[in-house]
A and B are shown apart, each in its own frame.
Chain A
Amino acid sequence: MAKEKAKTSGSTETTGHSWDGIAELNNPLPKWWLYTFYATIIWAIGYWIVYPAWPTVSSYTKGYFGYSQRERVSEDLAQSQAEKAVFRDKIAAADLEAIKADPELLNFALAGGAAAFGDNCAPCHGRGAQGGAGYPNLRDDAWLWGGTLDAIHQTIQHGIRAEDDQTHMSQMPAFGKLGMLKPNQVSDAAEFVMSLSGNADDEEAAARGKEIFATNCAACHGPDGMGNQALGAPNLTDQLWLYGGDKATIVETITNSRAGMMPAWAGRLDPATVKELAIYVHSLGGGQ
């Protein structure tokens, strides 16, 4: 009656493998294990039929369900767009101050603005909006065309020296190149400009430059060099320089002029995105 048991000692077949006296037995697998294995094979065949599976020469088998990851992504994107649309419609309708006052809209606008900034603005202004030579740092407190929410919005919409009817337009003359100032006059004017921010090296030259400045530059930059945001004329008395504050760069600026350009985004981005960008840029620390 004794149930025949598989034992380590003797009765069971071994694989012949033995390590340190421990033999590997060759016990039979349970039958259900085998059937489970067959079931997985059948499952795999079913999978081939209902899901995309096999490559063909120029395409692949689409499967009975017609499942496509690409379509799923499109659906998910469309759904997230629809969810966003609720907020974006509100942002498009509200004015900037109202968006800023509503914490929910403000959060959404800041997130959306950051994404749009990375896509559209970062190539010139840098990923962190820190700018570079010729491209303004949007985090500091110096603004060529104004740092209020409305002014920033205006600038983003219409650009600077862009092909847009309402774009910011101004032109500094190339004083040296056009022969309006002689090289020594340019040098003196540059020395005076440096003195405005307390960085002059040659007080005598600066004194000579004062006269030149009053005649040629003060019309836009103001008699005391404080600049004029209506004309995009930079404040020359602060410590920030768009192109550089050393003498050689200032001489070059006066000689050849500068005319940085920024595109108008109103036609390229929808109004809600432009508003989000304005709010985002305003939040970077320099907003007024």
Chain B
Amino acid sequence: MAHMEFSSGGAPSSGGGELYASRVKIYPKEAHGRFRTIKWIVMAVTLGIYYLLPWLRWDRGPYLPDQAVLVDLPARRFYFFFLEIWPQEFYFITGLLVLAALALFLITSIAGRVWCGYTCPQTVWTDLMIAVERFWQGDRNARLRLDKNPWAFESIWRKGITHLTWLLIAIATGGAWVFYFADAPTLAKQLVTFSAPMVAYLFIGMFTLTTYVLGGIAREQVCTYMCPWPRIQGAMFDRDSLLISYRTWRGEPNGPHKAGETWEGRGDCIDCRQCVAVCPAGIDIRDGAQHECIQCALCIDACDEIMDKVGRPRGLIAYDTIRNLDAGVQEAAPLRLFRSRVLFYAGAIALVGTIMLVALLVRPVLEVNVLHDRNPLYVKLSDGGVRNGYEVKLLNKQYVPRAFKISVDGLPDAKVQMIGHEGGVVPVPPDNIQAVKLYVALDKAGVGALSSQATPFKLVVTDIADGTQTEHDAMFQGPPKSGTAK
């Protein structure tokens, strides 16, 4: 069961009981092949979305921002294409995060750390930073050579320009971040004319620093030491999860192989160490599953290339299940997708997704909150009648101004008065809230006709424009009903 063992510590152990270990610098070699191509595409798509999304426009009419994705903190609105979320609807975001977590669990139980290997921002930016490093300093061997002479002029200018490019990417990353929180074209103009708010520069600075340090310098140290996910993953895998694995049964015993020699009695692994050379985590996949491994699949590409060269079948390193590895078969046992944990995660995703979709579809464009005055609950009037006060909040979630009429249903002969809206019509600005003070009064006869101290009734809110009506529960409070009515 070598595959279930997790080695520990990204840096090699110093063995002799030392408390601290230096980082061993990694010089990842460029890989070529299927998975490298997929990773380039994923990088282009994810970074493209991140950098360009704030510039996408979305028409919401004359009263609202036209940015497709915008977190408008001062106005407390989150715009996402056709969606708009008010602060009290934050459960949509919560639902989205729950969905994201469940999707992460699902994909991990099916195919391991796909998130880590392909789409995690740390992986994507590190990959980009390594590509930049390779562009200015050359591939693995050239970089190793430069580091042998760190003070040579060539080392200095090549490394200098690498760091400069990293910083530019980092600034662009921080710069893109702030565009999600303000109108991008306006803020861009402000940024270059140095008239943007201080907080924008502050956040650009923070994200510049984190991108540069985490993506350019810290790299695999983030995955190994800072990220909790590698530690959690152990609970997500099972014997049927597809993990990037070295097929020990096929590869061992390994050793150099000269062209023309027989493959009888030995493994397919020629110990060329290409899988180690391309690894951005600096590990040897042949040691089995390790928590440093982000499962980026580059070792598969490296090994397949070698297998093609030596004329052995591909797939010495491949996505495979522990069940298959133990059985020592390649592409024989079918992938078992219908496992309890896969079904559970898929079911949970379907459930949460359905709830969110339904909530979204029935999301009202008008919300009415009726708050009964509590102090005092009711006011006695000079004619022996009783008046109740209410604060009615009308939330207009449409992008146009609307006007509403409020009337009372279920309290015969009730007198309705609205402070500040004597005409009885309440205008509500587009995508906004209007609070109205509403008084409902009954005369002495009306109060006498009530059967109890608290009488439920309905407030009817009518949209002036199209006549649609909604009813809202309210309560009318009177003096205690005693046997001796005064």
Contact = CB atoms under 8 A, between A and B. Distances in A.
Interface of A: 3-9, 11-13, 25-34, 103, 106, 126-128, 130, 137, 139-142, 199, 235, 238-240, 283-286
Q: What 5 pairs across the A-B complex have the smallest Cβ distances?
A: A128-B375, A238-B382, A130-B376, A27-B9, A28-B21
Given A27-B13, A238-B383, A283-B419, A5 B21 contact: no
B93 to A, nearest CB: 30
Contacts of A3: 12, 284
B9 A28 contact: yes
Interface in B194-243: 218, 221, 225
A30 to B, nearest CB: 6
Contact of B19 (A4, A29, A32, A139): A29
Contacts of A286: 379
Given A141-B382, A285-B387, 12 more contacts: A6-B9, A11-B13, A12-B13, A25-B9, A28-B13, A28-B14, A30-B23, A127-B375, A130-B379, A140-B380, A239-B444, A284-B389
B384 interface: yes
B483 interface: no
A106 to B, nearest CB: 6
A140 B378 CA distance: 10
19 contacts: A5-B12, A5-B287, A6-B12, A7-B8, A26-B17, A27-B9, A27-B21, A30-B20, A31-B20, A33-B20, A34-B20, A126-B375, A128-B373, A137-B380, A141-B382, A240-B380, A283-B419, A283-B437, A284-B389
Nearest to B287: A5
Contact of A239 (B11, B13, B383): B383
Interface centre among B18, B23, B376, B439 (most CB of A within 10 A): B376
Contact of B486 (A32, A103, A199, A235): A199
Given A128-B375, A235-B382, A5 B20 contact: no
Contacts of B12: 3-6
Per DSSP, are chain B's interface residues mostly helix, strand or loop, or mixed?
Answer: loop
B419 A8 contact: no
A283 B420 CA distance: 9
A64 B13 CA distance: 45
B6 interface: yes
> Which of A6, A12, A103, A106 has the most B CB atoms < 10 Å from its CB?
A6
B439 A285 contact: yes
Contacts of A137: 376, 379-380
Interface in B1-49: 5-15, 17-23
Contacts of B18: 28
Contacts of A127: 375
Contacts of A31: 20-23
A76 B284 CA distance: 59
A106 B420 contact: yes
Given A32-B221, A139-B379, A27 B8 contact: yes
B2 to A, nearest CB: 9
A6 B17 CA distance: 12
B271 to A, nearest CB: 10
